[in-house]
Amino acid sequence: MASDAQAGRLSGRRAIVTGAGSGIGAATAERLVADGAQVLTVDLSGEVDLHADVTEPGINARLVAQAVERMGGLDTVIPCAGISAFHPLEGHDDAYFDRVLQVNLVAVFRLVRDAAPHLKAAGNGRIVTIGSTTSTYGDEGLCAYSASKHAVLGLTKSAAAELGPFGVTVNCVQPGAIDTPMTAPAFAQMPEYRTFWEGKAPLRRLGQPQDIADVIAFLCSDDARFMSGHGLWVDGGAMVRH
């Protein structure tokens, strides 16, 4: 939760957070509200304002319209919805690859595109995308996921260049191994994988959703007003040992 010094630093901000039913998205929505923002939360399930599939054609434009109607405007977009699972390259089916790109990349692009006019009009818009350490590096069994997250980082940089003249900052948080409902099945199936990542990080633990949410809140605040176009590793230092 926000400290007394941080409480209210996002007052007046009006945000959309997708994937807000659990994990990083839920922690982010909670943190933004604690810091004073209004937040429209979206997910397929969970305790959110709107239940929606972010890959549905036209849905992101409707989410933007709903946000503007409910909150009187929109200046912050945080697309946290994402999927991942281990799939070796051999036997990797097209349908799964396409689904990962639709959720992790195409839906992010559509939301950023559809929200852009409102963020430009606000004059101090914020976009924070969710990449991964695999946005920079790859990992075995994660071809679809790594491809999508590399692309999200590229989208972030291009959007930062295009929207910067309108006062909009665009950054990408790149989490390392985070203990979330999305990663839980892999850690349960392969306990050695969890042990590996705990040992790889100099901080000697997995990240928690709140660790990522706190960085996202910073990027949404005026404290980060001159930061844009960056991918920020939030990984406990794991990738210094890559």
Identify which of 73, 69, 65, 24 has the alpha carbon closest to the alpha carbon of residue 213.
24
Please answer whether residues 53 and 44 qualify as being in contact, where contact means their C-beta atoms are separated by less than 8 angstroms: yes
Q: Is residue 241 part of a domain?
A: no
CATH number for the domain including 185?
3.40.50.720
Specify the pLDDT at position 32: 98
- Both tokens assigned to 161: 């260049």
Q: Is residue 5 part of a domain?
A: no
Q: Is residue 4 part of a domain?
A: no
Q: Is residue 240 part of a domain?
A: no
Half-sphere exposure of 164 (CA within 13 A, CB side): 14
Q: Is residue 196 part of a domain?
A: yes
Phi, psi at 222, each rounded to 5°: -70, -20
Please answer whether residues 204 and 198 qualify as being in contact, where contact means their C-beta atoms are separated by less than 8 angstroms: yes
Q: Is residue 238 part of a domain?
A: no
Q: Cα angle vertex 6, ends 5, 8, to 5°?
A: 110
Length of the chain: 242
* pLDDT cut 90: percent of the chain above it: 71
- Is residue 2 very low, low, confident or very high in pLDDT (cuts 50, 70, 90)? very low
Q: Is residue 237 part of a domain?
A: no
Whether the pLDDT of residue 223 is over 90: the answer is yes
Please answer whether residues 231 and 174 qualify as being in contact, where contact means their C-beta atoms are separated by less than 8 angstroms: yes
Specify the pLDDT at position 7: 64
Q: Note down the domain range covering 146.
A: 14-232
How many structural domains does the chain have? 1
Most confident option among 18-22, 89-93, 132-136, 181-185: 18-22
Whether the pLDDT of residue 1 is over 60: the answer is no
Active-site residue set: 145
- Both tokens assigned to 59: 């849905």
Q: Is residue 45 part of a domain?
A: yes
- Is residue 236 very low, low, confident or very high in pLDDT (cuts 50, 70, 90)? confident
Phi, psi at 160, each rounded to 5°: -60, -40
132-141 CB contacts, 8 Å cutoff, 24+ apart: 132/174, 132/175, 133/174, 133/175, 133/176, 133/233, 133/235, 133/238, 133/239, 135/172, 135/174, 135/231, 136/174, 136/231, 136/233, 136/239, 137/239, 137/242, 140/88, 141/86, 141/87, 141/88
Q: Is the pTM of this model over 0.75?
A: yes
**Separation in Å, CA 81 to CA 24, 43, 73:** 9, 7, 22
